[in-house]
Amino acid sequence: MEVSLVDMKSGQTGVITKVRGGANFSLKLNQLGLREGKRIKKISSVFNRGPVTINVDNYQVAVGYGKATRVLVEVDQVEENSPGR
């Protein structure tokens, strides 16, 4: 299932499939290591259009709401009865 960072749930993991937006925007994310094919885990998001924080490799990145809507992620399918969902 492909959703934006904003629609991902905290604790979910997935792979970035697309970064939509201008060249400058994707360059900035790219430099921070956020790019297509990268595996990430969402840590949290602040309600009411706050920033989304994610884990990439060994570091954490906070992405503001506007930018987070432009990052699409293929979320890992989790078994119905498995914990952590």
Partner 1 sequence: MKKIVLAGNPNVGKSVVFSQLTGSKVMISNYAGTTVEFTKGLLNTGQGTFEVLDAPGTYSLEPTSKVEEVASSLVDQADIVINVVDATNLERNLFLTTELLEREVPLVVALNMIDEAGHKGVKIDIEKLESLLGVPVIPTVAVSGEGLKELVDSLSGAVNRGQFPLNTANRWAYVGELVGEVQEVVHRHHSWLETLQDASLRPLTGLPIAAAVLFVAFQLVIGLGEFIHEAMEEFIFEGFYETLLLSLSNALGGSGFWHNILIGSLVEGSIDFEESLGVLTTGVYVELGVVLPFLAVFYLVLGFLEDSGYLPRLAVMVDRSMHRIGLHGYSIIPMVLGFGCNVPAALAARNLESRRERFIACTLMSVAIPCMAQLALIVGLVGRHGFEYLAVVFAALFFIWVVLGLIIDRVMPGYTPSMVIEIPPYRIPSVKAQAKKLAMRIRGFLVHATPYILGGILVVNILYTVGLIQLLGVLFAPVVQGLLGLPGDAVSTLLIGFLRKDVAVAMLIPLGLSARQLVIGAVVLAAYFPCAATFTVLVKEMGVVDMAKSAVIMIVTAFSAGFILNLLLDTIIPAAYLAAGLVILSIILPMVLGSTSDRRELSDLDETA
Residues that bind partner 1 (CB under 8 A): 10, 20-22, 24-25, 27-35, 43-51, 53, 56-70
Return the closest-CA partner of residue 13 out of 78, 64, 69: 78
Q: For 40, list phi and psi in degrees, rounded to 5.
A: -135, 165
Quote the CA–CA distance of 81 and 4 in Å, as a whole number: 24
Taking the complex as a whole, the smallest distance from the CB of residue 85 to partner 1 amounts, in Å, to 16
Closer by beta carbon to partner 1, 21 or else 75: 21
Closest distance between partner 1 and the C-beta of residue 57, in Å? 6
